[in-house]
Structure 1
Amino acid sequence: MPESDMQIHFKFDQNHIFLWTFLALQILVLIAYLNFSASWNNGSHKKLWGSKGSISFLDQSNQTIFSKLGLSKFKVYYHSDVNTEIYLKTEKIEKFFITVNDTVCYQMGTDVEYMKRKSKFYNRVEKCECMPGYHGNDCSFPEVIWRAFIAFRQEAIIQKRSKTRRIIHMFVITHPAQIPLAAIKINELFDIVDLFIVAESDLNQNGESKPFYFKLKLDKGLCQGKQHKILFTPIYQSGGEKESASKISWEKSRKIIKNLRDDDIFIQLDSLEIPNSKALLFFKLFDGFTLPVQFRLKWNVFGYFYQHPNKAKKVTAGSTVLMLENLYDNDPNLIQSQVWFVVGDLNHYGGWFCELCYNINEIPNFIQSTTDQQNGKNFLNHDLIDEKYLEQIIGDGIYIDGKTQLINNYEGKDNYYAPEYVVQHYWKYSNLMINLYNKADYN
């Protein structure tokens, strides 16, 4: 064989050897991955389900793994009201505080780095240095709570707890358009709320049969990685159940939660209402405030770029589990009948209510399907509201009634522009942060 032919043949063999070697490596990696998945599925990891369907998903001593690896998409699990037991976790209060030179300070509200630098020069630091927006000797009072106590005008003895109080937050889904805002709420409050109870009826507000939209979204991965704090309670009102969805849901839920304490806090808000996370954390850590609690929520419209001229919506929503049982007969709707402690004022809000903050193509359907009396007063003839009309009024800064002028919000000038989770994921929620239909630069 000529030398040139031998060189060509040798190069050809080299290419084949490289390709076959690369293919063999890919096969080995795939086999290793399949073996790992099989060992996982065969129980070499901690089991997801305990005996009798119990789940101690929040107990640090028996932490349950809720993710499952495999060839399919990452899957997570939420709780339903069938064969489930839930045990809520209690945390030690010390994890929220830090000691600098024998001075105990609230970590979230304290400029710890400044204190450490200061201690190098003065050898000893005798007081906590608060971050902007925090007050108190240990910097544990966020601005909204500090102002609430000033407005309360009654003597209050605030004491740090020895262990955290648990917070249970219930809301009801009435329309699929509400689900993105509900997901924002769960992400915003995930580190503070111990259990989200989500109720949904099999009937819409006009009494027509519908699927459980929130459950369908959970099954497709909504709030992935956070579902273990969600208890979904389907309400079958088509069977003739006359009680409200929230009352039925709580009756189911309190039987499932096996370690409820009398001083645990129960909060019920609308799916579009997000309480101030700093205020909720204060409630977890301290005693001495008076219940029930009312939240004064910033009233946004269409997105966080507009605010209703009334500025705020007041919602009485928080009580202890014991108060809910003894005073309100386990009916969450009755909490709204009284108010003692108000969180939020017209400049420092106790949370956010984002009205009609849906995709523009969902708003006409929502308005057609709702029979809410308050909304009925605000809306024009349903037939007049279409996408073209909505683009016009959103661009002009007009409320859904076609006449009320909305207030423009500017992120750089407003410390309460939007929930922190939305601000941190700006581009994901750009439709809520930026007015895409703005026709002029309002000043």
Structure 2
Amino acid sequence: ICFFLLIQVLSGYLFLHFGKEYQLQYSEELNNITTKVNLYLGLSQKENRSIFSNNDTFTLQDDTNIYFKQFTVDLTCYITGTDFVATKIVVMNNDGKKNVTNSCICKRGYYGEDCGIPDAIWHSRYRKPEFTRLLKRRAKPRRIINGLPVLKEIDMLETRFNELGDAVDLFMLGESNFSAHGDHKELYILKQLENGFLKEFHHKILHVFVDFFPAKGKTQSWIADEYLRVYMGKLGIPRVAGVRDDDLFIISDADEIPSRPVIMFLKLYDGYTEPVAFVLRWSIYGFFWKSKSQDNLVSNLFNWKKEATTTVYAVTSMGVLRDVHKNDPFLIRKIKKYDAQALLSAYERKHPGTFDPWEAGSAKHYAGWHCSWCFNPEGIVLKLDSAQAGDMPRWGDYPEKHDKNYLQSLIRDGRWFDGSKNMFLANPKEKYYAPPYMIKHSDKFASILFHPKQRKMLSQLSSRSSKNKQDTTKSGSPSPKYASSTSKKYNTN
């Protein structure tokens, strides 16, 4: 009922301000889009209850949260990055001597005078004094829009929203009823949202339904690859109100999750340039396999396992996105190949010194995670079948690649579809192994967190632990020898 009332109010407004002809045209397009969404959701027109419509708009609001604490007139510290106990001691001691400290005491993984520079930013050019001194706290946080095309990445979406839900102001989800191959498909994510998926974040979601597939995408893979990102921006960005030029747009793939500390840094500081590339930890099939860089004579001789990372240009200001890229987010990624010098020059005259591409993060000090093909066998089959027609070799065209046992063997052995082994097992104890939300809910995400052998071992340990608890309940105390051996096995694996 509310949906229809909104349509009536909007139609009346358009009639008064733009005339009958425009109002009729807009209403017809609105009804067509709404009907298509409901058909793909399995709703009749009588049930017309979609909560995510292509008529929805979003107004960015100012972030009024407190992120810094002022100790003295000259000392302000980033709350998340500061060890307050240590900092208080230093300030009290110095105050007694009338010698106030000029820096906060940082927690591990944070740097800078106010402890606001996270690990990934520190391991970039902004560690150098000539760049660090340019960084200044903002009086008002930027607003962040994270746009991404989606297929059926349920686990990764749940993790993204729970990792970044308080850092990102708007999630723009681009979804089509066509796959990248040009085949009709379900609106998997929209249907999940309608059924309550991510309900606590619905107020931050703008779903952009792209109801067509470009004809040339059938033969030209680059068109199929970019069209959903292009039209997510072209159709979605005009629906966002209250945008300021220095607000940020982050373009991601659904399997790329930026680090929350990095996003908060971009939100809270001035002085860095744009666009920003993220150096991401690159995993395949699960976080347990790391992508390996190409072997050479030295690496083969010493059996070195040097990891490959994913580096993607992902961040630009809304001013550049509008004036230079014309609301096409895909062009953020193509910055090295995209010639927009005339538009850039015009923008730089308006905002001098702001355009200078740089990378956030490095190997071991990642700006986030890229978990490629991180699905169960059924999800891998869907991804195979959805791949672009011009993406050669197109493994989805090979029937044997759909076999569940075959796909499980790839996941187990760390092999690619061509039989090559371009990955190595990661240590699950490493600092940035996976997003913290997944680690916290490791039971739920075990299939993509741990190698099948690790999962089997953990299952056995869990079973032994349960048996141990039962024995304790029966006898009143555990067997010291059994408890010690179980603990040792768990800690060494």
Does 2:159 correspond to 1:190? no
Letter matched to residue 132 of structure 1: R
Question: Once superposed, what is the RMSD of the aligned Cα atoms?
Answer: 3.2
| One of 317, 322, 331 as aligned partner of 2:319 | 322
Letter matched to residue 227 of structure 1: H
Paired residues in the alignment total: 370
The Cα offsets for residues 210-259 of structure 1, whole Å up to 9 and x where unpaired, read as 22111100011111211111110111105979882222222222222120
Residue matched to 1:112: 84
| One of 197, 207, 212 as aligned partner of 2:182 | 207
8 Å CA contact 1:167, 1:266 repeated in 2: yes
* Unaligned runs of at least 5 residues, structure 2: 11-48, 218-222, 294-307, 337-356, 458-491
Q: Decide whether aligned partners of structure 1 residues 237 and 275 sit closer, same or farther in structure 2, where only a CA change above 3 A counts.
A: same
Structure having the larger proportion of residues in helix: 2
8 Å CA contact 2:276, 2:314 repeated in 1: yes
| One of 284, 288, 299 as aligned partner of 1:305 | 288
| One of 335, 340, 343 as aligned partner of 2:332 | 335
Deviates more, 1:249-258 or 1:139-148: 249-258
Mapped to 2, the partners of 1:101 and 1:372 lie a distance apart of: 62
SS at match of 1:196: strand
Q: By how many angstroms is 1:144 displaced?
A: 0.6
Mapped to 1, the partners of 2:414 and 2:312 lie a distance apart of: 25
Q: TM-score, normalised by structure 2?
A: 0.68
Q: By how many angstroms is 1:154 displaced?
A: 6.4
8 Å CA contact 2:148, 2:229 repeated in 1: yes
Mapped to 2, the partners of 1:279 and 1:51 lie a distance apart of: 43
Residue matched to 1:89: 61
Mapped to 2, the partners of 1:248 and 1:380 lie a distance apart of: 26
Mapped to 2, the partners of 1:393 and 1:239 lie a distance apart of: 33
Q: By how many angstroms is 1:266 displaced?
A: 0.6
SS at match of 2:377: coil
8 Å CA contact 1:299, 1:353 repeated in 2: yes
Letter matched to residue 353 of structure 1: H
- Structure 1 outlier segments of 4+, above 6 Å: 48-51, 151-154, 239-243, 439-443
The Cα offsets for residues 290-315 of structure 1, whole Å up to 9 and x where unpaired, read as 10111111110111111110321111
| One of 108, 116, 127 as aligned partner of 1:140 | 116
Does 2:109 correspond to 1:129? no
Q: Decide whether aligned partners of structure 1 residues 123 and 78 sit closer, same or farther in structure 2, where only a CA change above 3 A counts.
A: farther
Does 2:183 correspond to 1:166? no
Mapped to 2, the partners of 1:131 and 1:259 lie a distance apart of: 35
Mapped to 2, the partners of 1:287 and 1:51 lie a distance apart of: 43
The Cα offsets for residues 149-193 of structure 1, whole Å up to 9 and x where unpaired, read as 2478964611111101000010011x32x2321222122111101
Q: TM-score, normalised by structure 1?
A: 0.75
Mapped to 1, the partners of 2:82 and 2:365 lie a distance apart of: 20
Higher Rg: 1
Residue matched to 1:27: none
Mapped to 1, the partners of 2:136 and 2:93 lie a distance apart of: 32
Residue matched to 1:80: 53
Residue matched to 1:382: 398
Residue matched to 1:263: 246
SS at match of 1:207: coil
Letter matched to residue 313 of structure 1: T
* Unaligned runs of at least 5 residues, structure 1: 1-40, 54-75
Mapped to 2, the partners of 1:267 and 1:203 lie a distance apart of: 24
| One of 216, 226, 236 as aligned partner of 2:201 | 226
Deviates more, 1:246-255 or 1:352-361: 246-255
Mapped to 1, the partners of 2:214 and 2:181 lie a distance apart of: 15
SS at match of 2:278: strand
SS at match of 2:362: coil
Mapped to 1, the partners of 2:383 and 2:137 lie a distance apart of: 45
Q: Decide whether aligned partners of structure 1 residues 370 and 106 sit closer, same or farther in structure 2, where only a CA change above 3 A counts.
A: same
